[in-house]
Amino acid sequence: MASRDHGDPGDAPTIAPPLTAVANPARPSAAEEARTVAASTNTATLASLSADGDPWASLVTYGLLGGAPVLCVSQMAEHGRNLIRDARASVSIVAPNPPDDPLANTRITLAGKVRRPSPEELSAAREAHIVGVPAARYYIDYSDFSVWVLDVERVRWVGGYGRMDSASGTEYEAAAPDPVSPKAAGAVNHLNDDHGQALLAMAQRLGGYPDATEARCEGADRYGLDIRVSTPRGWSVTRVGYVEPIDSIEELRGATVQLARLAAPSS
């Protein structure tokens, strides 16, 4: 699913390919990744069309109705007038806590058309926005503000350098945010601090890097672990999928113990 668009750019550090098959490369789909990013924050940048058809980028806040961003913008602002005139819009959402290199960060674009909520869904849309943006209760009912739902037609997810994919609006709406990754930071630190040998064994025996000399966990989601490996040939990132997907952070310990047993040199 993931693709590397550019290859090795000149004098960049060498990325080592795996030497053996990755036992279980399972990972979230682009639609799932996008739902996770959308659920991770409440600010986005809206691209709308100005009167002359020029693209206009502006900060917006949002809540979520299913996966659909619910905006609340003023007609006194250019983006508010733009949406009234032309419903075509997209939002770019960047995952919080960016790394030092901003292009290594995860971000998505959700593109489609905005519409005013129907009378039946207005209450739910209004509530969804306020859940995402508590301060909105001060202005959401003010006469110049309007609530808009972005019906997502297509999705682009970029998970950092060389990890990117597209999804349809239907796939996006059907997917769910990852129940594990937003809560996994503590467990990931614990794995790195106390179970480095187990991670190295996973990288060597399950991750395709039998020559790995060091392995660090960079993230955990419902399907498995992202592992960064060092080898005499250079560095890389690989994937160690669990035996079965998990549905909550509480299941993470059991799933990683199972992986450690599978990868143990004595097994």
Binding site for its own copies (CB under 8 A): 5-6, 9-12, 42-50, 53-59, 61, 74, 76-78, 88-92, 94, 98, 101-103, 105, 107, 109, 111, 133, 135, 138-139, 141-142, 144, 156, 158
CA distance 163 to 77: 35
Please report how close the Cβ of residue 124 comes to its own copies at its closest, in angstroms: 21
Q: How far is CA 9 from CA 106, 158, 162, 228, in A?
A: 20, 18, 12, 20
Which residues pair with residue 220 across a beta bridge?
Answer: 225
28 contacts: CB under 8 Å, gap ≥ 6: 36, 178, 221, 222, 223
Judged by beta carbon, residue 9 or residue 232, the one nearer its own copies is 9
Judged by beta carbon, residue 24 or residue 56, the one nearer its own copies is 56
Please report how close the Cβ of residue 38 comes to its own copies at its closest, in angstroms: 13
Please report how close the Cβ of residue 129 comes to its own copies at its closest, in angstroms: 12
Judged by beta carbon, residue 59 or residue 267, the one nearer its own copies is 59
Judged by beta carbon, residue 98 or residue 254, the one nearer its own copies is 98
Identity of the residue numbered 190: H
Please report how close the Cβ of residue 196 comes to its own copies at its closest, in angstroms: 27
Please report how close the Cβ of residue 81 comes to its own copies at its closest, in angstroms: 12
**Nearest in space to 211 (alpha carbons), one of 238, 237, 236, 233:** 233
Cα 147 to the center of its chain, rounded Å: 25
Residue 107 phi/psi, 5-degree rounding, is -150, 160
